[in-house]
Structure 1
Amino acid sequence: MEQLLNQEINPLKLLFQSISDNDGLPDKITDFFPAIVYIYDADARKLKYINHKVTDLLGYSYNDVQTWDNDLMCIVHKDDLENVNKEIQKFFALQDNESYSYNARLTHKAGSWKHFRTMGTVLNRDSNGRAASILFIAQDITEEVETGNQFKRIDELFNDTQDLLKFGVWEWSVAENKITWSNGIYRILGYDPKSEKDKLHITPEFYLQHVIDADRDKVLYNRKDYLAHHEYDLHYKIHDRNGRVKDVREKAKVIRNDKDELLRIIGSTIDITEQSQLYRDLAAYKAMKQENEEFLDYGTWEFDARTENYFWSDGMYRLYGYDPETDKYKIVVNEALYQKHMDEEHFERSKSFTDAIIAEKEKPENFVSEYQIKANDGSIKRIETSGKLLYDSDGKWLKTIGTSRDITRLRLYQSSLEEKIKDLDRSNKELEEFAYVASHDMNEPLRKITTFIERLESKYKSELGADGKLYLARISASVENMRHLIDTLLEFSRTARSNQPFSQVNLNGILKEVQTDLELKIEETTTTIHGDVLPVIEAIPSQMKQLFDNLLNNSIKFRQTNLSPIISIRCLRLSRRQKEQHHLDTNNTWFKIDFSDNGIGFEPEYSDRIFQIFQRLHGKTEYPGSGIGLAICKKITDQHKGLIYATGEPDNGATFTIILPEHQ
């Protein structure tokens, strides 16, 4: 286009120089030009002449031109004005027969605008040799610019697509041994196409430097003599300029001439590193899943309700006694296969179970069933199946997916465990009965010993002397200790054997009753008790009273000699997270009650031992007792499905925590 304007502007210049201003010949000639021809008066800074193409191309009449005050700048696009003013100045510096061009947009009378390439040359000069008038030819290049922009947009889109999809295209001219790459190939190899494209000498040898040694024989550049008339699809590994190893897939087409001479190869290369890693991960996951199925004796399955087709994983074949490697493609998984491995009773029960689920109006999603099969090797197995039913938006059953596992050993172990639990319960009951009877019967000889001691004291008091009296006093103390031990044993036994009913118990009332019973001891020891409001729960009233009594007595007994006992009772409702931490039923409400004191405390290592029967941390002389009180507390909380534990530090008090449910 620019060369064409150059060829036209010089003859046109001669034409205007040879014809007077009032001659009509220029109009007749310039109107044949497919461009706006105009002369610019350099001194007046106005148009001196313009042809009729201003009307054809931009819609303006000569009258419109007069309203501009002959200033063409008024139709220059506002965004191009500054640049056009700069470009105009360059024409004043032109030498004779020199020309210069620039591009700008001119506004159409209708409001739209067009792209023009304007070329100009000095037409006349003044006496000082300065440009007096300048001849311009403005050629409409709108279509050319828009086509160029379209190709530019397509090129940008293609480059963005290559970047997004991590691929590039290339062409290998075999005769010249030259390769042409798109930007995508540069990026795959770690190069910046904008800054490095012109610096790199792209040859087959250069590319092969990026292919790992083990895969170089796969690349087409190393197989020129063996390339046939067809397409190639290759996979191999490369390393980019930064040393990162990548998996690539290369598709290429070989082009030969009529003489079967190799001309060129065109192809594309895509970075499939992520996909390859995904395939490897999927393969590893599949292998791990198959190992898990084999180790844990389970399998997964799917049933398509529309086609009535089943899918079994390898684990399902093993469950039913088949080898997945050899039998998978020999047998058909259908309802008849299930019926073959189940006796009639279990098959009908399983089928009725499934039919009932599907028929339910609520459209359940999950189910669990258990049945018995006879495997292909003749072994009998108990199978547990967990399934999920999937529906479409209209509630129509689409398919069922699930897992089945062999629970034969689990059921055998469960049956054995249940028998052992029955034996243990029977043994515990016999031991409790023995303890109760033994404790009850042991009171009789103690009463006789007490009676004979009293007779000795009354009948032979004067003859016993000081030593005799001391011995009798020690015997009496031992008998009293023995009686207390027997009483607490009976109490423990009664707690274990208790069959009292549960009822609504207000723990605030229980605490008040216990404080009343301990009123004298509380006054003697100047004990202070602070308590929160306690809840109402389902419990055995007498046992709750015994529990609170033992805990308060324990805090008073193990007080510090130089401090008055202070007992704080705090209560809070457990959150869901706290219930999960203690492995409690999250659907029930649980209360945590802390009994904290400022007593002598204990070593943290004894926090479990103190709840065992007959366990004592101190001597009887210093702190009298049987060592059964806290064991009774644990027995009571166990019977109420609760928890009890303790924390403490020597000389820094102790906290006994009980956790009880609102409902049994």
Structure 2
Amino acid sequence: MNTTSDTQSDGVRSTLVAAGTMRWFHWVIVVFSLGLTLLAWNYSRNQLHARIRLQFDRDADRTVELVRERMRKYEDALWSGVAFIGTLDGNVDHQKWKRYAASIQIEQKYPGINGIGVIQSLDDSEFPAFLQRQRQERPGFTVHPPSERDEYWPITCIVPLQENAQALGLDMAHESNRITAAKKARDTGRAQVTGPIVLVQDSMKTPGFLFFAPFYQGRLHQHDTVDADRFAGLVYAPFVFRKLMKGTLAKQNRHVGIRIEDAGEVLFDEHVTSDADFDPNPLFKKTIDVAAYGRTWTFDVWSTKSFRANVDTTQPLTILAAGLIIDGLLIGLFLLISSASRKALRLADEMTRDLENLRLAADVNQIGVWDFDPNSGEVRCDDAMYRLYGHNRDTFSATYDAWLHSLHPDDRNACNAAFQNALTGESTFDCEFRIIHPSGAVRHISAKAMVFFDEAGRPVRMLGANSDITDRKHAACELESTRRLQAAIQNAAGVAIIATDPQGRIVVFNDAAQKMLGYSKDEMIDRSNPGVFHDSVEVRERASELSEEFGREVEPGFEVFVIKARQSESEQREWTYIRKDGSRFPVLLTVTALRDQDENITGYLGIAADISERKLAHERIEKANASLARSNEELAQFAYVASHDLQEPLRKVNSFCELLEQDCGNELSDDAKLYMSYIMDGGRRMRTLIQDLLAYSRVESEGRRLSRVDANETLQYAIDNLSESIRESNAQITHDTLPMAQADPGQLAQLFQNLIGNAIKYRGDNDPRVHIRGEVTGSRCIYSIEDNGIGIDLCYREQVFGVFKRLHNRSKYKGTGIGLAICKRIIDRVDGRIWIESSESGGSIFRFEIPHGLGDELNRENHLQLAACGAD
């Protein structure tokens, strides 16, 4: 900036400032006039304050008196109830009390009351008979909260009952405020109110109180002599303070706000900012203590906005305003001479500020401003322009050709054409192009400019601004890439994807949907859903189901498909689609609501998969399963019948062999005797095999219904059946306390018997040692039978559970090879699992897992039982 020019500007500005300066005598006149104005204003303000204070005191006293009058009216209602009970000799029930309450019209004549009721006083000896009488009238009647005490004060009647149902049966003796006021009413014979309480029927849990009036046996009027021994009960009314005040003090009829306290506890408060009439800076405040039936209520009274609006405070302000206007005219007169210089100075300062604000806005938004002279070709740029193009003033020639050279080669021709068209007036200059920084970086620029023409239509100036839009361009590219990827995913998906707007108009119909239904995208976009590919009968049936489920009418249209998705849950359901050629096929349709960041629904997405092949496969599997079940049943029946029929000829063979041996034993040769023993041994083994086959077939055919089984008793039954084998082998059988299970008792016993019998049979040189234990894991019971026998190799642990599968020679270990197969079939029947592990002693651990099946109750019982045994 030129220093001489700056100095001249400062001199002109100083002259303008001095020309507008007032002299000392001007100020003397203004101050004197202002002093007279303030004296008159203060006198008027004091007079007005006194009048307004008197009005506030009247409003405050009237408000308090309204509360007193309303409480006296409520008291009259209570004493009326006492008189009514006296006419009945104290024998009042709910129906009589309801008729009485209706006759006095409590809801119309006593606004703000929450109800009116009866409390009876009982000692512990009277309580059982009282409770029996009440339950004869009202079977569900209870005194609450439950406790054992010397006396009871239950609420026996209350009207209206619906709003006060929670109070019925409430014992006043359970809480100090209630019982203290009740006993005081009994002893004094006067009406009493409780301290602040929260009524059980008040869902908002706001302060309230109870109003008591005592009644006595044979006493008909509240002014009769008090005899506490003849006390019978109380007529009472519950009050929620906010309701009491709403019925007593209509807000529109008063202009003061109140806060009511009892012993420091706030009962009602209008001094809150949420109250529209609340004045944070009230004109007046006042505190009044009121005796309220045994309590002292403190009324804190404040003036409100409506009070302020209803008082006329304009007189002092009018005087003040008039005086100030006169002073202002004087000052205006004195400043009139200097107004021209001040106006010029102000305009100059405003223009300076506007220019500075424009420069700051351009810097903040990274906007570069340039000014082109068409005649000289010179371009004047601000600092932001140099930063946008990556140059500085020393290294960049501010000419049109230099600017054009900095553009990307592919964009120069288009930008030059747009620039020249703007200079000729054919169009405005609004162009986007790329520039190349000296570092080689490419940036995207948006340029806009305005051309100024002279009277002859020749361009004389072009003023423009550039901004960097590189980030916006990149974001747009990423968005387009994402859109293309989504479109590719939709089209490549093997399922039909159909999206709609919130009203059901189709906006997306992917390639798979076109192939599946035979309709083109052009045919379906913008059509309303349900479309032509839905079965209308199926839609109506679903609408009926949803109407019953939601308890309201659901129209057989788009609502059928989205009603559940709208409630933030996806719905997956099988539907029938109809192709364009009329053919039908089943689909599994999943509907999901599309939501924005504020959880507002923007549309719905439906994904449908053709399940025709799946349904056909499912049907084939069901037919195969049914056929397999019939085959298994027939096989089991055949095994049972065949095994049963084989036993009769076997018995004859064994019987006649025994007879032959008895009759001809001495005459038989040694070889004949040997052959005879072979025959009898084969018969015995054949009988054992048949019995095992019968047992195997009976697992399914004669299995009883599963029930709750004490595994300890079942185990003991199995041990008793094996007592002879245990004694002969000198086996030691031990067990822990076993958890209960859901099983067939007989089959569980057979399971234990087979596994323990195997442990005894397949023993080594040492005496058999068998230990049984059990545990509960989640919903399953796991039992273990551990032995010190010969063990089973890992490769045979699955094989041994097959029918007739043996690992040892029959001469060494007798058996049919069916015992473990029976165990496996018993376990399979209850959806359990059985497996084998190695024992540390070298033997085997047979484990089987079955459900305990009776839910959390049995699970807790099992855990408690096992814990108790552990403690022992």
Give the alignment partner of residue 530 of structure 1, picking from 695, 712, 735: 735
Distance in 2, matches of 1:356 and 1:248, equals 63
Q: Does 1:510 align with 2:714?
A: yes
Q: Alpha-carbon deviations, 1:550-590, whole Å to 9, x = none?
A: 2333333334434642424131222xxxxxxxxxxxxxx33
User: Is contact 1:385-1:405 (8 Å) kept?
Assistant: yes
Q: Alpha-carbon deviations, 1:295-349, whole Å to 9, x = none?
A: 2x44454573xx45455542784487234444334x72334x35x7425x43421
Change (3 A) 1:607 1:226: farther
Distance in 2, matches of 1:558 and 1:368, equals 56
SS in 1 for 2:470: strand
User: Is contact 1:603-1:649 (8 Å) kept?
Assistant: no
2:181 alignment partner in structure 1:
none
Displacement of 1:527 after TM fit?
2.6
User: Is contact 1:303-1:400 (8 Å) kept?
Assistant: yes
2:610 alignment partner in structure 1:
406
Distance in 2, matches of 1:495 and 1:533, equals 23
Q: How does 1:461-480 map to 2 (within 5 A)?
A: 461-462=665-666, 464-480=668-684
Q: Alpha-carbon deviations, 1:40-90, whole Å to 9, x = none?
A: xxxxxxxxxxxxxxxxxxxxxxxxxxxxxxxxxxxxxxxxxxxxxxxxxxx
SS in 1 for 2:812: coil
1:433 alignment partner in structure 2:
637
Displacement of 1:634 after TM fit?
2.4
Structure 1 length as normaliser, TM-score? 0.57
2:847 alignment partner in structure 1:
656
2:705 alignment partner in structure 1:
501
Amino acid at match of 1:334: N
Distance in 1, matches of 2:387 and 2:790, equals 79
Which moves more between the two structures, 396-405 or 544-553? 396-405
Q: Alpha-carbon deviations, 1:113-149, whole Å to 9, x = none?
A: xxxxxxxxxxxxxxxxxxxxxxxxxxxxxx9xxx9xx
User: Is contact 1:559-1:565 (8 Å) kept?
Assistant: no
Change (3 A) 1:470 1:357: same
2:488 alignment partner in structure 1:
287
1:586 alignment partner in structure 2:
none
Displacement of 1:503 after TM fit?
2.5
User: Is contact 2:781-2:851 (8 Å) kept?
Assistant: yes
1:231 alignment partner in structure 2:
430
User: Is contact 1:169-1:184 (8 Å) kept?
Assistant: no
1:322 alignment partner in structure 2:
518
Change (3 A) 1:519 1:248: farther
Distance in 2, matches of 1:375 and 1:221, equals 55
Change (3 A) 1:528 1:279: farther
Change (3 A) 1:624 1:217: farther
1:346 alignment partner in structure 2:
538
Displacement of 1:601 after TM fit?
3.2
Give the alignment partner of residue 760 of structure 2, picking from 556, 567, 572: 556
User: Is contact 2:768-2:787 (8 Å) kept?
Assistant: no
Q: Alpha-carbon deviations, 1:378-437, whole Å to 9, x = none?
A: 212124444468999xxx999766544433333333233222222221111111111111
Distance in 2, matches of 1:591 and 1:379, equals 53
1:541 alignment partner in structure 2:
745
Amino acid at match of 2:819: G
User: Is contact 1:616-1:627 (8 Å) kept?
Assistant: yes
2:576 alignment partner in structure 1:
372
User: Is contact 1:514-1:549 (8 Å) kept?
Assistant: yes
Change (3 A) 1:499 1:374: farther
Amino acid at match of 1:231: D
1:638 alignment partner in structure 2:
828
Q: Alpha-carbon deviations, 1:423-465, whole Å to 9, x = none?
A: 2211111111111111112223322332343345345545554
1:20 alignment partner in structure 2:
none
Distance in 2, matches of 1:573 and 1:389, equals 40
SS in 1 for 2:517: coil
1:85 alignment partner in structure 2:
none
Give the alignment partner of residue 819 of structure 2, picking from 625, 629, 638: 629
Which moves more between the two structures, 227-236 or 617-626? 227-236
Displacement of 1:227 after TM fit?
5.2
Displacement of 1:611 after TM fit?
2.5
Displacement of 1:357 after TM fit?
4.5
SS in 1 for 2:849: strand
User: Is contact 1:178-1:202 (8 Å) kept?
Assistant: no
Distance in 1, matches of 2:444 and 2:609, equals 42
Change (3 A) 1:227 1:399: closer
Distance in 2, matches of 1:249 and 1:514, equals 90
Amino acid at match of 1:623: Y
Distance in 1, matches of 2:602 and 2:465, equals 50
1:64 alignment partner in structure 2:
none
Change (3 A) 1:446 1:376: same
2:129 alignment partner in structure 1:
none
2:801 alignment partner in structure 1:
611
2:207 alignment partner in structure 1:
none
Structure 1: tracts of 5 or more residues without a match:
8-31, 33-142, 163-167, 575-588
Q: Alpha-carbon deviations, 1:152-175, whole Å to 9, x = none?
A: x979994xxx9xxxxx66689998
1:333 alignment partner in structure 2:
528
Displacement of 1:373 after TM fit?
4.0
Q: How does 1:168-207 map to 2 (within 5 A)?
A: none
Amino acid at match of 1:321: L
Distance in 2, matches of 1:221 and 1:180, equals 22
Displacement of 1:222 after TM fit?
8.5
SS in 2 for 1:570: strand
User: Is contact 2:496-2:510 (8 Å) kept?
Assistant: no
Q: How does 1:71-150 map to 2 (within 5 A)?
A: none
1:483 alignment partner in structure 2:
687
Displacement of 1:613 after TM fit?
2.1
Q: Alpha-carbon deviations, 1:197-223, whole Å to 9, x = none?
A: 99x97999x999x99xxxx655x4697
1:595 alignment partner in structure 2:
785
Displacement of 1:490 after TM fit?
0.6
Change (3 A) 1:429 1:325: same
Q: Which structure: greater strand fraction?
A: 1
2:468 alignment partner in structure 1:
268
Distance in 1, matches of 2:574 and 2:730, equals 63
The percentage of counterpart residues that share the same residue type is 24
User: Is contact 1:171-1:267 (8 Å) kept?
Assistant: no
Q: Alpha-carbon deviations, 1:223-254, whole Å to 9, x = none?
A: 76555453344699x9999x9xx997543446
Change (3 A) 1:520 1:456: closer
2:864 alignment partner in structure 1:
none
Distance in 2, matches of 1:282 and 1:449, equals 88
Change (3 A) 1:182 1:514: farther
User: Is contact 2:770-2:785 (8 Å) kept?
Assistant: no
Change (3 A) 1:285 1:332: closer
Change (3 A) 1:279 1:550: farther
Which moves more between the two structures, 403-412 or 257-266? 257-266
Distance in 1, matches of 2:850 and 2:806, equals 24
Displacement of 1:488 after TM fit?
0.9
